[in-house]
Amino acid sequence: MTISVGESIRNGVDTAALFATLDAVKSAPEAARFQFRAHNEWMSGTHNRGTIHDYFGVGMERTHERTFTFDADHPAVLVGRDNGPTPVEYVLHALAACLTAGLANIAAARGVTLTEVRSTVTGDIDLNGLLGLNPEVRNGYQQITVRFTVKGDASPERLRELIEQSRSRSAVYDIITNGVPVAIEVDTP
């Protein structure tokens, strides 16, 4: 390697590896077919536990370095025991995480050094929908708003452009704004 760390690493992103990955996928597009997975086990009431470990990508079965587990529950005010966030809060977390990761990558690729990225995602929901009390109210969020605070060695306009580019390439933003077909299969042994 003749590229020094100072040249290759920016924002903690190995840009040489990033560009090498892009080149590799260009020459073998099927490597980019991934299947991600989450496993879930019901505990009690609204409390359940998710496990994330295995996935498929770059032509083979893979696993994360660790097994990640995440409890979900409802708070007491929604007749749960607050053993974890609600499922809808995980959706907000996913959106912030996706936009932030994309921003760091895109800024690094374009030579912008970031010093701080914070965000708060809010989701407004009227539970009259999912409680079945008002057929005119949807079950899910009516509006989601992301508020970023970003600092780095670029003009405010440039930083906004980088976030816009992250939005335009975000998997979770696409999922949430455009929807995805969901099939449900049930085994009752």
String of contacts with a copy of itself for each residue 64-103, x by CB under 8 A: xxx-x-x-xxxx-xxxx-x-xxxxxxxxxxxxxxxxxxxx
Closest CB to a copy of itself among residues 7, 147: 147
What's the 3-state SS for 80-100?
CCCCCCCHHHHHHHHHHHHHH
CA–centroid distance for 27 within its chain? 27
Phi-psi region of 45 (alpha: psi -120 to 50; beta: other; left: phi over 0): left
Q: What minimum distance in Å lies between the beta carbon of 107 and a copy of itself?
A: 10
Q: Which of 2, 4, 135, 181 binds a copy of itself (CB under 8 A)?
A: 181
Q: Which of residues 33-52 bind a copy of itself (CB under 8 A)?
A: 33-48, 50, 52
Does 110 bind a copy of itself (CB under 8 A)? Our answer is: no
Residues 116-175 that bind a copy of itself (CB under 8 A): 116-134, 138-151, 156, 159-160, 163, 167, 169-175
Amino acid in position 114: L
In DSSP terms, 52 is beta-bridged to 68
152: CB partners within 8 A, 6+ apart = 107, 112, 113, 114, 115, 116, 159
CB of 3 to a copy of itself, least distance (A): 15
Q: How far is the CB of 91 from a copy of itself (least distance, A)?
A: 5
In the complex, the smallest distance separating the C-beta of residue 14 from a copy of itself, rounded to whole angstroms, is 6
Looking at 4, 61, 135, 182, which residue binds a copy of itself (CB under 8 A)?
182
Contact criterion met (CB below 8 Å) for 110 and 139: no
Stretch 4-23 residues interacting with a copy of itself (CB under 8 A): 11-14, 17-18, 21-22
The partner residues of 71 in beta bridges, in order of sequence, read: 49
